Chain A
């Protein structure tokens, strides 16, 4: 069981908007530690999508955005495209004995 909780799956039609939640606790996101998001296309390594809650690395389309509030964070994807179909992982730091750098369990995005 992951320290950060994500829905196992979300789906949306092309052009729609979807959000993926990442719920933590007072020992990680709730303490103020930043949240990062990664996109993992099938058969490839994870790639940084959003860093420090809201920032996009160069080359990442502005269709992807992140937010954080309290003990949770969210990734929003607008104007869904077929190429967005992938697994998405949130990641943060945990100051308990859970293992320092922690990931969510991942969310499979299906573009209908």
Chain B
């Protein structure tokens, strides 16, 4: 059974770059779509973007100018970089998988999430 685990710094200073990694175990990153989703404290879910195993990416238009998602097939990992962060980027960040890019396929499974706080 595929499991996802987020990792990275829990505290980032304003204007710096947030960097997170999602490690995939129990399966391979090939042939799937890998997403990042975030949830500010006490608020709802926001899709950030995804990467296909081929390396192609799609980002949320509201974050596109600041987001980069990359894939390392040799390590079975994918990563998120979010630049020029502010307090509004404080959130629990989740990684998740989709089996196909069709809208008929949900996000499943999800990682347990990691809290990133933006503060000086």
A interface, CB within 8 angstroms of B: 2, 33-34, 36, 38, 44-48, 51-52, 57, 89, 91-93, 97-106
A98 CA / B62 CA spacing, docked (Å): 8
User: A103–B103 contact, CB under 8 A?
Assistant: no
Q: Would you list which residues of chain B between 31 and 45 have a CB under 8 Å from chain A?
A: 35, 44-45
Using CB atoms and an 8 Å cutoff, list the residues of chain B in contact with chain A.
Answer: 35, 44-47, 50, 58, 60-62, 94, 103-113
**Are A100 and B111 neighbours in the complex by a CB distance under 8 Å?**
no
CB pair B58–A100 under 8 Å, yes or no, is yes
Query: What is the number of contacts between chain A and chain B, taking CB atoms within 8 Å?
Result: 62
Contacts of A38 in B (CB 8 A): 106-107
Q: Is the Cβ of A89 less than 8 Å from the Cβ of B106?
A: no
Which among B35, B109, B110, B113 has the greatest number of chain A C-beta atoms within 10 A? B110
Contact B45 A89 (CB under 8 A): yes
Contact A103 B47 (CB under 8 A): yes
Known A-B contacts A92-B103, A102-B47, A105-B44; A51 and B60 likewise in contact (beta carbons under 8 Å): no
Chain A residues near B111: list those with CB within 8 A.
Answer: 45
Closest to B4 in A: A45
- Report the Cα distance A103→B35, complex, angstroms: 14
Residues of B within 8 A of A46 (CB): 45, 94, 107, 110
In the bound assembly, the distance between CA atoms of A91 and B103 in angstroms comes to: 10
* A91 / chain B contacts, CB cutoff of 8 Å: 45, 106-107
Apart from A45-B94, A51-B106, A102-B47, 8 more pairs, CB < 8 Å: A36-B106, A46-B110, A48-B107, A48-B108, A99-B60, A100-B61, A101-B107, A103-B46
Shortest distance from the beta carbon of B104 to any chain A beta carbon, whole Å: 5
